Amino acid sequence: MKKRNAAILYEFRVSFPYLLLFYAIQYGVVAALWLLARGVMGLSEGRLFGTLELCSMIFLAVAGAQGFTEDFKMLMQNGVPRGTIFLANLALFASFSAVMALIDTVVLRALGQNSVAEPLTWALYGREFPSAANWLWLFLLYCSVSMSFYAATLACHKIGRVWSFCAGGVLLALLLIGLPVTVGMLPAEGRERLALFFLRLFGIPAAGGSPLAPFALFLGLSLLWSACAFGLLRRTELR
């Protein structure tokens, strides 16, 4: 119990200052650009910022990777069992995701009302998308992003640096070359079906998607990555 509480406290005390720093920088830049655009350049129309949530996702991806590289070593040195380390990381990522989803929901919707920024959910589902659903949508998305990078970092550690670079190269080639080529080779009808599938997967109303689909998708991905991360962490050696 002592180790579990200490591990969770450690994760929070060490990592939360970075969250504050991230938002201070992000909204500092937003404010500066807004002043520049509206005050100096005299632009008065159009939204200045779209998909600021992407910055949060990048931050969470880094936090997810960092969760393994430094914290794992420190916690192992202090005799924390691997299962407890996983719990502490999970608690951190879930808390980060919840707080960031809340900030992004409140701030971006407020900025959206003033035509400064556009929340991602408005772009996808329209302005009627409820605030609570917005928070839950972002929370599950952020959880899946942080857990995916946490699991990926563990996998890289497991297979070693050389194989990680090879795997990364293959993945990049598949995404940048393989995927477009494959999609391009599909007949027009096939491409339409594929597009429809993804639109429905994200619950886009115009494509007839279920509003629950994205929640189920992100929840499923979060659980899948968590299970992968736990499986990998249980067999991860400290070298």
Partner 1 sequence: MEAIELKNVTKRYGGVTALDGVSLTLEAGKIYGLLGRNGAGKSTLLGVLSNRIFADGGTAFINGNPVGSSAAQDLLFCVGEANYYRPACRVKDLFFWAGKFYAGFDETLAEEIAGKFRLDVNRRFKSLSTGYRSICKLTLALALRIPYLVFDEPVLGLDANSRELFYTLLLGSYAKNGGTVVLATHLIEEVASLLEEVVLIDHGKILLQRSAESLRESGYCVAGPEQEVDRYCAGKHVVGEDRLGGLKLAYCLGGREPVPAGSPLQFSQMSLQKLFVKLTEREAENG
Decide if residue 158 touches partner 1 (CB under 8 A): no
Among 14, 124, 133, 224, binds partner 1 (CB under 8 A): 14
Among 40, 161, 162, 235, binds partner 1 (CB under 8 A): 235
CA distances from 43 to 55, 87, 114 (A): 24, 48, 14
Segment holding 64, helix H or strand E: helix 53-69
**DSSP string for 5-44:** HHHHHHHHHHHHHHHHHHHHHHHHHHHHHHIIIIIIS---
Cβ nearer to partner 1, comparing 189 with 237: 237
- Nearest approach in angstroms of CB 37 to partner 1 is 37
Binding mask 23-62 for partner 1 (x = CB under 8 A): ----------------------------------------
Decide if residue 12 touches partner 1 (CB under 8 A): no
Q: Is the distance from CB of 236 to CB of 85 less than 8 angstroms?
A: no
- Nearest approach in angstroms of CB 20 to partner 1 is 16
- Nearest approach in angstroms of CB 78 to partner 1 is 4
The C-alpha atoms of residue 87 and residue 83 are separated, in whole angstroms, by 6
Cβ nearer to partner 1, comparing 1 with 206: 1
Q: Which of residues 61-100 bind partner 1 (CB under 8 A)?
A: 70-71, 73-74, 76-82, 84
Decide if residue 237 touches partner 1 (CB under 8 A): yes
The C-alpha atoms of residue 123 and residue 147 are separated, in whole angstroms, by 25
* 155 SS3 class: helix
Cβ nearer to partner 1, comparing 110 with 238: 238
Number of residues counted as binding partner 1 (CB under 8 A): 23
- Nearest approach in angstroms of CB 238 to partner 1 is 4
Work out the burial of residue 17: count CB atoms within 10 Å of its CB; fewer than 13 is exposed, 13-18 middle, 19 or more buried: exposed
Decide if residue 159 touches partner 1 (CB under 8 A): no
CB-based burial, 85-106: b 16+ in 10 Å, e otherwise: bbbbbbebbbbbbbebbebbbe
- Nearest approach in angstroms of CB 6 to partner 1 is 4
Decide if residue 6 touches partner 1 (CB under 8 A): yes
CA distances from 203 to 141, 144, 207 (A): 14, 17, 8
Q: Which residues bind partner 1 (CB under 8 A)?
A: 2-3, 6-7, 9-10, 14, 70-71, 73-74, 76-82, 84, 235, 237-239
